[in-house]
Amino acid sequence: MARKIGLYGVLAYLLFGLFFYWYLFYFADSSLPFEYQGTQADPATFLNKRELFLSEEYSRIRYLLYFLSTPFEWLFYLFVLLLGMSKAFKDWSEVTVKKKWLQTAVYLIWLSFFSFVAMLPFSYISYHLSKSYHISTQNFASWLKEELLDFWINYGITFILVSVLYWLMKKSAKRWWLYAWLLSVPFTLFMTFLQPVVIDPLYNDFYPLKNKELEAEILEMAQRADIPADHVFEVNMSEKTNALNAYVTGIGSNARIVLWDTTLNKLTDEQILFIMAHEMAHYVEKHIYVNIVTSLLFSLAGLYLTAKLMNWMVIRYGKAFKVPAVSDLRSLPLFLLIISMLMFVSSPLTNMISRYQETRADRYAIEMTQDSEAGITTFQELSRAGLSQVNPPYLVKFFIYGHPTMLERISTLEEYEHNQMKTEDNEGS
């Protein structure tokens, strides 16, 4: 049975990978529809021939890497179960220490280590790819340091979650998923509050915006939007990337609007103000809180489905997986496998919600700044800096894109600009 499941798993992975290779390199069409050719959304109007070629090439490889690495994680967890590695990790933990919570820690260090090693090639290829296309400026030592930092932060958080989760499974075989979800609510809020002031500074240096004139303009915009902001933060990213970004993070008194220094170095003040107006929209429309609620609702459904699927799979394949019961720590790879698959399946819906919010934020920025030209040139520069496809293939947008495509964003701004000129002409006549 185990050999049969493993064979089917490998075949499914190969077919999945071959399908997306064929789709991305031979079938998908990323060319612009005729009606957009020659407009400001046409990459041929703001990228040279080499940049056009590189953006198409880089995007295809990057998307393929995503569609190969995601199911590879599932395959890894499947073979951890089938090869008895999960059982071995638990045996080693019981031999090493006597206390249950320490056994969980030892088991998890083994599982985390092998997972880290298995996924490291994909992480390195992604790093090397962005370095080759001059998007990443990060040296290898710095990249490896961040990978190890990720490992230990994820290990610490996972240890807390797994310890509580399996304690709940032993206490309530039927309702553990509900109790786990109830505990996840304050934990999610706590982590969101903690993220900008504890976790993010471990990776980068944050400081108040140095350009005080620009900061004054941004704070004046924040005042008009009734946002209680005292500072705009910039983060030193130029040592790691040439890409541009700005974001809003945190909740309550820890909420922050952050600009990468690459954005400050490459964009004009008008373009930066447009970006800031976009980020302020997320605060004004309470997208952070909406996202927390949405995430919790998805996690409730996810935990419920995971509980049902784990019960069914342990009953049917428990012997092949060497997992005697759902509440046994050996079932953790199965839990992680199901959660990862559910997250992938639900990603089109979560992406759709995110794209709606980003569209709302773009419209807010247009209305606040009344500067559609700054928005158009900003999105053109973002495309150039990140070698992004203006019109990505449908399945890429469906599974990956949490933002509208650059075609949609630029054409929306062009339409606004056209309507504004039309209105002015009508008023003048």
Please tell me which residue in 73, 215, 279, 408 is annotated as part of the active site.
279
Token digits of residue 426: 């009508």
CA angle centred on 205, ends 272 and 236, rounded to 5°? 40
Q: DSSP of 183-230, one letter per residue?
A: HHHHHHHHHHHHIIIIIGGGTS-EEE-S-HHHHHHHHHHHHHTT---S
- The DSSP H or E segment spanning 260 is strand 256-260
Distant-in-sequence, close-in-space partners of 181: CB < 8 Å, separation ≥ 6: 296, 299, 300, 303
Angle at 147 (CA atoms; ends 263, 70), nearest 5 degrees: 90
Q: What one-letter code names the amino acid at 164?
A: V
Q: What share of the chain is helix, strand, coil (3-state, %, to 5)?
A: 75, 5, 20
Q: What is the dihedral angle through the alpha carbons of 12, 13, 17, 23, rounded to the nearest 10 degrees?
A: 30
**Spatial CA neighbour of 314 closest among 301, 331, 332:** 331
Cα 22 to Cα 17, 60, 124, 242, 288: the distances in Å are 9, 11, 24, 30, 37
Identify whether 213 is a catalytic site residue: no
- The catalytic residues are 279
